[in-house]
């Protein structure tokens, strides 16, 4: 319920604020989420520990703490982008999103039935 209210407010605010300010507010929201959600923070830390250990990166210390905090900031930015995307004119979206292989994909769909397969990496938690 609280998340829905926050997203409704964020949607209204994101519609009128410049991008730079919107992203700064998203970062503040991510920092607040990090600070006031200790259970979620622990869950993110456990999951990122697995990734760091598997890839030879540090899973403790200041660098790791920054990584965990960044996960919250990035997730808040994903929400912002989700809210802002419907308002982008198509021409603007094409200038900020680079999708390698679009012509190949469109050619496949024009040639008849096609199946598109994509990965889903999931949430940070």
The pLDDT tens digits of the residues spanning 109-123 come to: 888 888 878 777 666
How many domains, the chain? 1
Give the residue, 31 or 121, on which the prediction is more confident. Answer: 31
In a domain, 60, yes or no: yes
56: left (phi over 0), alpha (psi -120 to 50) or beta: left
In a domain, 98, yes or no: no
Give the residue, 11 or 119, on which the prediction is more confident. Answer: 11
In a domain, 96, yes or no: no
98: left (phi over 0), alpha (psi -120 to 50) or beta: beta
- How confident is the prediction for the chain on average, in pLDDT? 88
Give the residue, 35 or 5, on which the prediction is more confident. Answer: 35
Q: What is the pTM of this model?
A: 0.73
Cα 23-123-96 angle, rounded to 5 deg: 40
- Over residues 13-21, the mean pLDDT reads 90
pLDDT per residue over 37-67, tens digit each? Answer: 999 999 999 999 999 999 999 999 999 999 9
Of 98, 113, 124, nearest in space to 46 by CA: 124
In a domain, 105, yes or no: no
- Over residues 1-17, the mean pLDDT reads 86
Reading the block at residue 15, the tokens are 């519609």
In a domain, 114, yes or no: no
Q: How far is CA 111 from CA 37, 99, 116, in A?
A: 49, 20, 14
In a domain, 36, yes or no: yes
- Domain range enclosing 39: 2-88
Q: What are the residues whose beta carbons fall under 8 Å from the beta carbon of 6, sequence distance 6 or more? A: 29
- Over residues 17-41, the mean pLDDT reads 95
């Amino acid at each position: 319920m609280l998340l829905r209210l926050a997203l409704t407010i964020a949607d209204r605010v994101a519609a009128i604020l410049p991008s730079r300010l919107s992203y700064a507010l998203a970062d503040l929201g991510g920092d607040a989420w990090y600070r006031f959600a200790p259970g979620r923070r622990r869950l993110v830390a456990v999951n990122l520990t697995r990734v760091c250990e598997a890839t030879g990166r540090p899973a403790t210390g200041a660098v790791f703490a920054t990584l965990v905090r960044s996960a919250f900031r990035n997730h808040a930015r994903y929400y912002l982008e989700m809210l802002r995307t419907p308002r982008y004119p198509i021409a603007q979206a094409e200038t900020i999103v680079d999708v390698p292989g679009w012509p190949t994909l469109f050619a496949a769909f024009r040639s008849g039935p096609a199946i598109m397969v994509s990965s889903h990496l999931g949430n940070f938690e």
